[in-house]
Amino acid sequence: MHLKSALHRFCSYLPEPLYSVIIKSMALRIVIDGYNLLGARGFECLSDIEEARGRLIEELSIYKKLRGAKVTAVFDGTSSGRLTRGREMKAGVEVIFSKDGEEADCVIMELAGKAGRGLTIVSSDRELAGFAKSRGAIVVSSGDFAALLEAALYESLKGIRPGDEDDGPHPKKGPSKRPSKQERRSLNRLKKL
């Protein structure tokens, strides 16, 4: 059993305001390179980009509800004609559009510069990943997060996690090798996702 699910179960007996404060304070903050994840999810083949973004935001909303994470999706608005950044909430997901002439990567780098260690950045962009890591953020590739998102959608549909179906013993496979501190931080953050 995961610690987070045990805490959710324990906190569900508390009065609603106190429960919300405890759960929200432990929530992860995930910042997503929107179009990068769209490509990893296979939505780039859709002819209507608005429809693809809408479907991705619906999926992220389901993920947010299941995992209790604060999700921000950042999209490029480079040729949109916007003079300022667009920011709105859609289905509980914060959606940010960069202003005209600005890429989403710049917005994400700015967020990583401010929050650093408290963020999980989802992008396969190497420059962005390097910058975010230098600020202490955990970086997850869009392909890896797409798999996590798919598992969350499966859980939402079936009511169980994909790994929960096989609860048999798992034999050890050899001598253990302790990962580096950075690898352990990344693995711990991935477990929370």
Q: pLDDT value at position 109?
A: 92
pLDDT per residue as tens digits for the range 14-29: 455 444 444 444 458 9
Please, what is the average pLDDT of the chain?
A: 78
For residues 79 and 138, the model is more confident at 138
The pLDDT, as a whole number, for residue 101 is 78
Beta bridge partners of 87: 96
CATH class of domain segment(s) 26-162+179-192: alpha beta
Give the model's pLDDT for residue 117.
Answer: 82
Instruction: Break the chain down into helix, strand, coil percent, rounded to 5.
Output: 55, 15, 30
> Is residue 32 scored above 60 in pLDDT?
yes
In this prediction, residue 178 carries a pLDDT of 79
Q: Locate all alpha helices (DSSP H) within the chain, ordered by sequence.
A: 3-11, 16-25, 34-41, 49-67, 104-115, 126-134, 142-158, 181-192
Q: Is the per-residue pLDDT at 43 higher than 70?
A: yes
Residue 183 pLDDT level (bands cut at 50, 70, 90): confident
- Give me the pLDDT at residue 79, please: 62
Q: What is the rounded distance in angstroms from the CA atom of residue 166 to the CA atom of residue 38?
A: 31
pTM of the model: 0.69
User: Which position has the higher pLDDT, 8 or 152?
Assistant: 152
Average pLDDT estimate for 119-126: 92
What is the model's pLDDT at position 22? 41
Domain ranges of the chain: 26-162+179-192
pLDDT of residue 59: 92
